[in-house]
């Protein structure tokens, strides 16, 4: 029962009994749901392995640093004290690529912590900018847009949805980065 999918199965079974659904009705509902979820399953099926590879890249026979650590070194040298302005955009990029704020945070938390550590910034504040940026990125997250479009009957209009939500996402990330930069400069 610790898996989120288990709860959905319990709800499905309870719904069948509460609404006294016939076998044919249950079958039709499952088929309709599967058709609706095809795009989401494909997007999620590609995002999860990519996240796992990124996170576990440090486990290699060549004793190379993990991708997040290598990137942190590169970025800390390139961006410097302006990092709080950039951190939310890394979180947003992670959500856009991986499919969720949770995966974004899993992928980039070590990266953000490393950059903050190398730049001698407040690590907790930089990590909170990552989380806020990941939440902003959920607005344009391909997985969420595909799922929402399929639910509301807008399949094929995903690009339009992303274009419409890009402005609010950018505003949110810029405002978050600005507030974070001011907070770090005051600490």
In a domain, 48, yes or no: yes
Domain count, the chain: 1
Task: Report the pLDDT value the prediction gives residue 151, as an integer from 0 to 100.
Answer: 83
In a domain, 62, yes or no: yes
Using one digit for the tens of pLDDT, what is the confidence trace for 58-75? 787 887 777 778 888 888
Task: Report the pLDDT value the prediction gives residue 1, as an integer from 0 to 100.
Answer: 65
| Mean pLDDT (whole number) for 32-52 | 76
Task: Report the pLDDT value the prediction gives residue 123, as an integer from 0 to 100.
Answer: 94
Entry pTM? 0.71
| Mean pLDDT (whole number) for 7-28 | 91
Is the distance from CB of 103 to CB of 47 less than 8 angstroms? yes
Consecutive H or E run containing 56? none
Consecutive H or E run containing 130? helix 123-137
In a domain, 162, yes or no: yes
In a domain, 27, yes or no: no
In a domain, 14, yes or no: no
The parent domain of residue 156 ranges over 35-186
In a domain, 3, yes or no: no
In a domain, 53, yes or no: yes
Name the percent of the chain lying above pLDDT 90: 43
Q: What is the DSSP letter of 141?
A: -
Q: Taking the mean position of all CA atoms in its chain, how far away is CA 100?
A: 3
In a domain, 122, yes or no: yes
Using one digit for the tens of pLDDT, what is the confidence trace for 86-138? 999 999 998 988 778 888 898 889 889 989 998 999 999 999 999 999 999 99
Task: Report the pLDDT value the prediction gives residue 34, as an integer from 0 to 100.
Answer: 85
Task: Report the pLDDT value the prediction gives residue 129, as an integer from 0 to 100.
Answer: 97
Average pLDDT, the chain: 87
Task: Report the pLDDT value the prediction gives residue 160, as an integer from 0 to 100.
Answer: 92
Is the distance from CB of 77 to CB of 121 less than 8 angstroms? no
């Amino acid at each position: 029962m610790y898996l989120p999918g288990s709860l959905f199965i319990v709800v499905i079974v309870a719904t069948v009994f509460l609404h006294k659904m016939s076998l044919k009705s249950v079958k039709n509902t499952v088929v309709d749901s599967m058709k609706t979820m095809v795009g989401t399953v494909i997007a999620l099926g590609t995002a999860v392995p990519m996240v796992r590879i990124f996170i576990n890249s440090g486990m290699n026979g060549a004793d190379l640093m993990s991708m997040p650590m290598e990137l942190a070194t590169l970025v800390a040298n390139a961006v410097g004290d302006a990092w709080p302005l950039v951190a939310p955009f890394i979180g947003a990029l992670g959500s856009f690529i991986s499919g969720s704020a949770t995966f974004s945070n899993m992928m980039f938390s070590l990266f953000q912590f490393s950059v903050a550590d190398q730049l001698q910034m407040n690590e907790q504040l930089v990590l909170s900018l990552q989380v806020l940026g990941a939440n902003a990125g959920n607005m344009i997250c391909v997985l969420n847009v595909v799922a929402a479009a399929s639910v509301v009957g807008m399949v094929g209009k995903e690009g339009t949805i992303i274009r419409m939500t890009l402005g609010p996402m950018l505003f949110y990330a810029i405002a978050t980065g600005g507030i974070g930069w001011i907070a770090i400069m005051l600490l």
